[in-house]
Amino acid sequence: MTVADLSAAQLAAQLAGPGLVLQTGPFTYRLQSPIDLIAQGVGQLYASYPVLPSTAFADFTVNVAAGRGLRRWVKPQARFLYDGQPVFDPLPGDQAYPLLEWAMNWCISSHAHQYLIIHAAVIERHGQAMILPAPPGSGKSTLCAGLVHSGWRLLSDELALISMNDGLIWPLCRPVSLKNASIDVIRRFAPRAEFNRVTHDTAKGSVTHMKVLPEHLSQMDRPAHARWLVFPKYEAGSATALTDRSRATSLVDLARNSFNFGVLGAAGFQRLGDVIEGCACMDFRYSDLRDAASVFERLSAT
């Protein structure tokens, strides 16, 4: 059974009641919310995802509750509750859907220490994964969205999940977060791409989420070995350039981009070192998505 098998009314009732138990990659979430925007977003972006019985075990329970008291009617709010406790400050009710996605990420980065978790996009081609770590504003998600519409498979746009057992990178297969100018860039680049409504005036500006392609979703239980580690940087007007970078420096930089390197300690260092030793490390500067796709097409053939 998938989310699409539920009518809009059934989906809303399940979310408002016992919760919708959803599988995304290696995790199951119990999503609970009485907010219409959540039901609409989940119905649209997660339509093809497997739904488990509402009594099934879930790794995380994510509750996006409505505001309390007068906040139910005046300037409504959305609140993320984890195990009944608030985690973030409440946001305007209009931002309920992005809050859900951010909350789902928080659950993983705060708890899933069976993985070394890097703040990075991951894509795959011919069974080999490319890790794209980068700070906000570097164009990571734009590049990731463009490449998954250019023949690369999406594993994750936000969290690289490196198994501590074997170093394989597991797909998370969640919608790709895009913001501000990137939204129109991807609309033009990939007319096939499907988005949910744009939410304006968030802390990150205007944000939307791009639906995962069905051919990627059907492979969400297929991990991949890391082959490339590429640090992207969008620079308006720059020529496309892919250059080698030190693997030792890359190891240090990748650790800085990890959510739980400090938690994992020496085992994390060992695992990260093993990943780096299996990768070619590069810096990538770009301003044109089509040029970027061509460069990565050639890279995937090496």
Partner 1 sequence: MIPERHAHAALPAPHFAIVAPLQWREIDGQWVVFRSDPPGLCEVDAFGAAVLNIIEEGPGTAPQVAGTLSRLTECAYTDELVQQVTEHLRWLASVGLVEHALP
Binding site for partner 1 (CB under 8 A): 246-249, 251-252, 255-256, 261-262, 265-266, 268-270, 273, 276-277
- The DSSP bridge partners found for residue 159 are 119
Q: Which is nearer to partner 1, 135 or 265 (CB)?
A: 265
Q: Which is nearer to partner 1, 237 or 262 (CB)?
A: 262
CB of 252 to partner 1, least distance (A): 5
Spatial separation of the C-alpha atoms in residues 76 and 90, rounded to whole Å: 10
Q: Which is nearer to partner 1, 151 or 265 (CB)?
A: 265
- Beta carbons of 173 and 25 less than 8 angstroms apart: yes
CB of 275 to partner 1, least distance (A): 11
137: its two tokens: 């504003």
Query: 204: Cβ–Cβ under 8 A, 6 or more apart, which residues?
Result: 98, 136, 179, 180
CB of 301 to partner 1, least distance (A): 24
* Amino acid, res. 128: Q
CB of 273 to partner 1, least distance (A): 5
Q: Which is nearer to partner 1, 106 or 269 (CB)?
A: 269
CB of 183 to partner 1, least distance (A): 36
Helix or strand (DSSP H, E) at 184? helix 181-189
Angle of the 289-300 helix axis to the 181-189 helix axis, nearest 10: 60
Q: Which is nearer to partner 1, 3 or 276 (CB)?
A: 276
